[in-house]
Chains A and B, each alone.
Chain A
Amino acid sequence: QQQVKQSPQSLIVQKGGISIINCAYENTAFDYFPWYQQFPGKGPALLIAIRPDVSEKKEGRFTISFNKSAKQFSLHIMDSQPGDSATYFCAATGGGNKLTFGTGTQLKVEL
């Protein structure tokens, strides 16, 4: 029940395209859903986060869509750029407890 399932495992997108990464969870106690971006040899950096009382949050080119009834949330990267090439992790937590991470998506944006 603590799992967060993430797909796809890897993704190749052309420059200017939309990158979409999906996550699903089971624990209904989760109430905070952050996305992290990790470059090789670096720690994860918080990208954007959402709480379940909203269905969408947008920050620049990054948008989280949240479907509470389906227990799914997704990250959309608009106008994807080569500099966006990284590994993306979704995560979930509830009640101030530890983060549960997805398995990660390796994104490559090609010219």
Chain B
Amino acid sequence: GAVVSQHPSRVICKSGTSVKIECRSLDFQATTMFWYRQFPKQSLMLMATSNEGSKATYEQGVEKDKFLINHASLTLSTLTVTSAHPEDSSFYICSARDNSAGWVNQPQHFGDGTRLSIL
């Protein structure tokens, strides 16, 4: 099955640090990747949609200068949390969708998430 690898799985760092999270599709090419944020016992909140070779589309209320997304290849998207503060602490999850098969509703496959803790 389709595998999405997310790295690192856990980050603990000081306030003011920038943190980069990688999301890779291991056995398929992902033209579209998604970044979510999840708070404890809550649902997934979509932050942004990234398409390979173009700028990411951010959801309303998500600061694009705070959460930098780069989708430079068909298998890699990165999320950089710039100048992170304690309120940015959360569980960040990426997903990838393979549209190459021609079916517009190919399922999204999720990574295992990154637990970000800002001290």
Contact = CB atoms under 8 A, between A and B. Distances in A.
B43 to A, nearest CB: 5
A103 B43 CA distance: 5
A96 B44 contact: no
Nearest to A43: B110
Interface in B72-116: 93, 95, 99, 104-105, 107-113, 115
A73 B40 CA distance: 25
Given A95-B104, A96-B99, A43 B6 contact: yes
Contact of A44 (B44, B46, B49, B104): B44
A32 B103 CA distance: 11
Interface string A77-103: 000000000000100011110110111
Contact of A106 (B34, B41, B44, B107): B41
Contact of B105 (A31, A44, A46): A31
Contacts of B93: 43-44
B115 A41 contact: yes
| Interface SS of B by simple majority | strand
B108 A99 contact: yes
A101 B59 CA distance: 15
Contact of A43 (B41, B43, B112): B112
Of the candidates B41, B43, B104, B107, the one having the most CB atoms from chain A within 10 angstroms of its own CB is B43
B100 to A, nearest CB: 13
Nearest to B107: A46
A98 B115 contact: no
Given A41-B112, A101-B44, 20 more contacts: A34-B107, A36-B110, A41-B113, A42-B112, A43-B6, A43-B111, A43-B113, A44-B44, A44-B93, A44-B110, A46-B107, A46-B108, A51-B105, A89-B43, A89-B44, A98-B34, A99-B34, A99-B108, A103-B42, A103-B43
Interface of B: 4, 6, 34, 41-44, 46, 49, 93, 95, 99, 104-105, 107-113, 115
Interface of A: 31-32, 34, 36, 41-46, 49, 51, 89, 93-96, 98-99, 101-104, 106
20 contacts: A34-B108, A41-B112, A42-B112, A42-B113, A43-B4, A43-B110, A43-B113, A44-B44, A44-B110, A45-B110, A46-B107, A46-B108, A96-B104, A96-B105, A98-B49, A99-B34, A101-B43, A102-B43, A104-B41, A104-B43
